[in-house]
């Protein structure tokens, strides 16, 4: 089984690469958002998932182990194949996807072609307890904190930054307005 490759990018067509190493070219599918980070003629290193079926063998590549790990978790969900999982990883970075799953936010997942409401909810139900960030299990925030995270995301902060800001709010801050102010102050410092 293949698990890692370092080579020169010979071709790039959409989210498919031909990576040459030791005079052999491997066709690798990558998340679409990663394609702009790869240049023809440049060297790339990818962590691979080798998907083997009865009549096909496909390679999926990722810049980081955390992307590969989330991909593997996504394809473990009933009804989610590698192409759908790749589409999910194309819409956002790993931290935002993990945050959306931990918060039960199906909207981000429903934006992916082939992922309807039922599939998005199934992903959340099956992965909510299995998703980790920085080695710690993510706990779903309270509804007030989820509203603050959503507001911060709408203001342009990443979901992971917003989540971190909420965790830095002093415990004695009770009102939603004061909690929002504290979160914004922690992001400003």
pTM of the model: 0.67
For 122-163, the pLDDT digits (tens) are 898 888 767 755 444 444 556 667 778 878 878 887 776 777
- Note the pLDDT tens digit of each residue in 3-14: 899 999 999 998
pLDDT reading at 165 higher than 70: yes
Looking at 1.10.3470, 1.10.10, 3.40.50, 1.10.8, the CATH number of the domain 143-188 comes to 1.10.8
Residue 79 has pLDDT above 60, yes or no: yes
User: What is the CATH T-level fold of the domain 4-62, as seen in this structure?
Assistant: OB fold (Dihydrolipoamide Acetyltransferase, E2P) (2.40.50)
Using CB atoms within 10 Å of the CB of residue 16, give its burial: 0 to 12 exposed, 13 to 18 middle, 19+ buried: middle
CATH architecture of 65-137: Orthogonal Bundle (1.10)
Using CA atoms, how far residue 136 sits from 37, 91, 175, in Å, is 29, 24, 27
For the chain, the domains span 4-62, 65-137, 143-188
Give which of 96, 104, 101, 106 is closest to 164, Cα–Cα.
96
Q: What phi-psi label fits residue 104: left (phi over 0), alpha (psi between -120 and 50 degrees) or beta?
A: left
Assigned token pair, 131: 């998703």
DSSP-derived secondary structure letter, 71: H
């Amino acid at each position: 089984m293949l698990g890692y490759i370092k080579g020169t990018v010979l071709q790039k067509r959409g989210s498919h690469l031909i990576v040459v190493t030791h005079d052999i070219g491997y066709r690798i599918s990558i998340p679409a958002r990663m394609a702009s980070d790869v240049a023809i003629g440049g060297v790339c290193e990818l962590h691979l998932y080798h998907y083997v079926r009865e009549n096909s063998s496909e390679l999926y590549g990722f810049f980081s182990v955390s992307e590969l790990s989330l991909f593997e978790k996504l394809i473990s969900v009933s009804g989610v194949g590698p192409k759908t999982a790749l589409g999910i990883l194309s819409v956002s970075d790993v931290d935002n996807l993990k945050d959306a799953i931990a918060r039960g936010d199906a909207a981000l997942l429903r934006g992916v072609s082939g992922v309807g409401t039922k599939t998005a909810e199934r992903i959340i139900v099956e992965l909510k307890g299995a998703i980790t960030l920085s080695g710690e299990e993510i706990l779903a925030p309270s509804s007030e904190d989820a509203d603050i995270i959503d507001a911060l995301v709408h203001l342009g902060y990443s979901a992971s930054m917003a989540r971190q800001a909420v965790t830095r709010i002093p415990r004695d801050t009770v009102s939603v307005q004061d909690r929002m102010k504290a979160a914004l102050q922690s992001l400003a410092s």
